[in-house]
């Protein structure tokens, strides 16, 4: 085999069908979801703060059981888990936007579909497109 045929085979593997071809890509999957760095940064910072609350609560519990210690432990652990889940969704959404093959996570898929659903302005643009309605 020549290198030219290998390159053409690799290009065929990486080729994606156009919007109308075989229905593989719907209009909602063409819309990419880009998470801004600011959101990622604040999610990371708040998860570190929440984790520190958890450790503060455990330190207070070792000194003696109190209401504030229980609140620190509960709030810290719940917020840490929630914010780490948010960061996991950020990663999942960006990988899915790049059309990488990702493992299906039903919760993340539902949120991703809701966030990438066409807005009212997108629908009005489609309704005024003469190609979608034909000759009226």
| Residue pLDDT, tens place only, 86-113 | 999 999 999 888 888 778 889 998 998 8
Average pLDDT over residues 53-72: 95
- This prediction has a pTM of 0.63
Query: What number of CA atoms fall less than 13 Å from residue 60's CA on the CB side?
Result: 16
Give the Cα separation of 133 and 22 in Å (integer). 20
Q: What is the pLDDT confidence band of residue 54, given thresholds at 50, 70 and 90? A: very high
Question: To the nearest whole number, what is the mean pLDDT of the chain?
Answer: 77
Phi–psi pair at 66, nearest 5 degrees: -145, 165
What is the per-residue pLDDT for 20?
A: 40
Q: Is the Cα torsion angle 118, 124, 129, 131 positive or negative in sign? A: positive
């Amino acid at each position: 085999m020549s290198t030219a045929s290998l390159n053409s085979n690799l290009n065929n593997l990486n080729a994606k069908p156009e919007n109308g071809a075989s229905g593989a890509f719907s209009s909602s999957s063409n819309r990419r979801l880009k998470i801004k760095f600011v959101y990622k940064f604040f999610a990371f910072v708040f998860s570190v703060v929440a984790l520190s609350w958890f450790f503060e609560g455990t330190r207070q519990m070792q000194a003696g059981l109190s209401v504030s210690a229980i609140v620190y432990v509960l709030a810290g652990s719940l917020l840490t888990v929630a914010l780490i889940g948010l960061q996991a969704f950020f990663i999942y959404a960006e990988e899915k936007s790049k059309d990488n093959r990702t493992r299906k996570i039903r919760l993340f898929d539902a949120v991703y579909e809701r966030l990438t659903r066409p807005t009212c302005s997108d629908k009005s643009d489609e309704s005024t497109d003469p190609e979608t309605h034909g000759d009226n």
